[in-house]
């Protein structure tokens, strides 16, 4: 029997992978892919969760045009969150530190995280350069902190048929974050479940638009702006948002 693979990425390895780096970026998007609850092995070379995030990078670049946007990914040392260690969040903080060393110190950043990566993005959103978070089917256990999101933009996308992470927990987290001072909205996605493969174009488009808007580089349609600003639960549907894109009314998701 082959011994279990317990290898991890070297501690000294960079936590930042640059995907698009213009000479003078106006803002940055940092992608955080999904993982596991527990796992000390390093992500594999193939790293399918990481590859799934690549179309979101392209969508953010399209939505931000003509503004120059830096796009990077967080490189995890371990595949799992690993309980109180919170390894993915630790690597996200390392990536933000490295990004700070590479760019202007006040360059605004939006974090785009899926599943475990969404949890990590939400955890580290208190970094002073983080303008907001786009959380895709995020893992939001009960009791997750929300105070760090005060003054930040938060956009949550979730399919309520997701069997890996619970949309209900995402909506509860969104409500708590809004009460703590986040400027947040949720989009109920009709398809895609956890992997976001069905109707992937809608996931990509709405994520790219949300990231660009949180950075002040694009406007969002009225249904999403109204959800963020209104007194309700902060939710709208993907159908309402996409329908409004053909007849937009200027508005930005953000304070």
Distance CA 24, CA 142 (A): 40
pLDDT higher than 60, residue 42: yes
What tokens appear for 161 in the block? 């048929």
> Reading across the β-sheet that carries 27-32, which strands appear in turn?
16-20, 69-74, 27-32, 109-114, 130-136, 153-159, 183-189, 235-237
Residue 2 pLDDT: 30
Can you give the length of the chain in residues?
Answer: 255
Please provide the average confidence, as pLDDT, over all residues in the chain.
90
Give the pTM.
0.90
Residue 4 pLDDT: 34
Question: What percent of the chain is modeled with pLDDT above 90?
Answer: 73
What tokens appear for 198 in the block? 């069905």
pLDDT higher than 80, residue 11: no
pLDDT tens for 159-204 read 999 999 999 999 999 999 999 999 999 999 999 999 999 999 999 9
Q: How far is CA 93 from CA 43, 75, 113, 120, 173, in A?
A: 18, 11, 13, 9, 21
Angle between helices 200-214 and 54-64 in degrees, nearest 10: 50
pLDDT tens for 75-87 read 999 999 999 999 9
Q: Is the dihedral of CA 50, 55, 58, 63 positive or negative?
A: negative
């Amino acid at each position: 029997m082959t011994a279990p693979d317990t290898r991890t990425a070297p501690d000294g390895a960079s936590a930042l992978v640059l995907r698009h780096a213009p000479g003078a970026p106006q803002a940055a998007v940092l992608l955080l892919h999904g993982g596991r609850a527990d796992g000390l092995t390093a992500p594999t070379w193939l790293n399918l969760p990481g590859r799934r995030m690549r179309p979101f990078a392209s969508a953010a670049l399209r939505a931000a045009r003509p503004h120059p946007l830096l796009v990077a990914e967080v490189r995890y040392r371990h595949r799992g969150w690993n309980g109180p260690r919170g390894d993915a969040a630790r690597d996200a903080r390392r990536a933000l530190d490295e990004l700070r060393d590479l760019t202007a110190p006040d360059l605004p950043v939006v974090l785009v995280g899926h599943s475990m990566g969404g949890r990590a993005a939400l955890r580290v959103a208190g970094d002073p350069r983080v303008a907001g978070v786009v959380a895709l089917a995020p893992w939001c256990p009960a009791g997750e902190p929300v105070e760090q999101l005060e003054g930040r933009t938060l956009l949550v996308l979730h399919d309520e048929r997701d069997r890996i992470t619970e949309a209900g927990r995402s909506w509860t987290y969104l409500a708590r974050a809004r009460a703590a001072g986040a400027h947040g909205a949720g989009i109920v996605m009709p398809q895609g479940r956890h992997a976001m493969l069905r109707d992937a174009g809608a996931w990509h488009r709405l994520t790219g638009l949300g990231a660009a808007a949180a950075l002040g580089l694009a406007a969002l349609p009225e249904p999403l702006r109204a959800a963020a600003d209104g007194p309700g639960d902060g939710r709208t549907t993907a159908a309402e948002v996409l329908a409004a894109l053909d007849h937009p009314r200027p508005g930005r998701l953000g304070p």
